[in-house]
Structure 1
């Protein structure tokens, strides 16, 4: 089993990266948050999970061991494959997933593209007792960050997922209007997740509006 990779980042794509391991390029799939931390030419360490299929060997990479653990537990849910498990981690951080699974919050999982109420209910049911929230102390006090510090990174991550810069910027602004504390903290990964969740909710609201007119 390949537990982790340490090497030079050779390439960063829309959903994958290539790590140069002494002349051998290892391709990995990862979330936008993990990919946004990688920079070509710099050394990186990624925790990995190898998925073996009859016709393929696919390596998924994570920023830390906690992300990998949650990913592998999500794979234990019937009907949840590696791409869907990775999508869950793109929208929610590991602790949010733990809390949602522990508290039976199926709605949290419906915010992930591709997961409807039925699948969300199955996730909550099958993860019961498997994921327990970590104890957390008081958050450290941080100076407020300006959008100039974090917004370009979030826009870059969203454009890698297919949004235009204009749509990405507008969605970020609207999502942060609902979460000013998150914007002040300036955590790129958290802001990206919040924007993706906002987009999912906005899509659901649009669907409801169309349905009511019909």
Structure 2
């Protein structure tokens, strides 16, 4: 199992990073927030989960061990594959997710693309106390403005600062204040592949 990748970051996109480890380029799929912390040409470290399927072998990457462990627990829930597991962590931090599970907050889970009412109920039932208690008092509410963090993340992913700022402003005007991860996700959808 490959549990960590450390090396020079060769490239990042909205969903992947390529990291050179001893002359081998590992392609790692990760959340936009995790990818925004990497800088092309500099050394980066990503905790990974190696998922083997009949048709593919894929590395999923995370900022820390807590994120990776949360992803691995999430993917044990029936109907939750790696893509939905990653989507959950793109919208919620592990601690916010623990808080959502503790409160049995169905609307909190349905904020994740691909999870409906019934899916959220199943996730809450199957997760039970597998994630453990939240380690800090967290509220699953948006900060007053996530714009500066999201603009910085988009610039880190290769977009021009003016384009990033304009896009984030548009997203906030359309959707109001949202958590950083959710604002970033919507901004990336709006930008598509344009750079």
Tell me if TM exceeds 0.5: yes
Q: What are the residue-to-residue correspondences of 1:29-178 with 2, within 5 Å?
A: 29-136=29-136, 149-156=148-155, 165=164, 166-172=166-172, 178=177
* Larger proportion of helix: 1
CA contact (8 A) 2:32 2:184 kept: no
CA shift digits 1:36-76 (9 cap, x unpaired): 11111010111000001112110000000000011001001
Residues 155 and 24 of structure 1, relative CA distance in 2, 3 Å threshold? closer
CA distance in structure 2 between the aligned counterparts of 1:75 and 1:126, rounded to whole angstroms: 11
Q: How many residues align?
A: 177
Correspondence 1:193 to 2:177: no
Partner of 1:9: 9
CA distance in structure 1 between the aligned counterparts of 2:128 and 2:43, rounded to whole angstroms: 38
Unpaired runs of 5+ residues, structure 2, are 139-144, 187-195
CA RMSD after TM alignment: 2.9
Q: What is the CA-CA distance between 1:192 and the residue it aligns to?
A: 3.2
CA contact (8 A) 2:146 2:177 kept: no
Q: What is the CA-CA distance between 1:110 and the residue it aligns to?
A: 0.2
Residues 100 and 150 of structure 1, relative CA distance in 2, 3 Å threshold? closer
CA distance in structure 2 between the aligned counterparts of 1:55 and 1:151, rounded to whole angstroms: 34
Q: What is the CA-CA distance between 1:107 and the residue it aligns to?
A: 1.4
SS of corresponding position for 1:5: strand
CA distance in structure 2 between the aligned counterparts of 1:48 and 1:178, rounded to whole angstroms: 31
SS of corresponding position for 2:123: helix
Runs of 4+ aligned structure 1 residues displaced above 4 Å come to 154-160, 164-167, 194-197
TM-score (norm 2): 0.79
Q: What is the CA-CA distance between 1:191 and the residue it aligns to?
A: 2.1
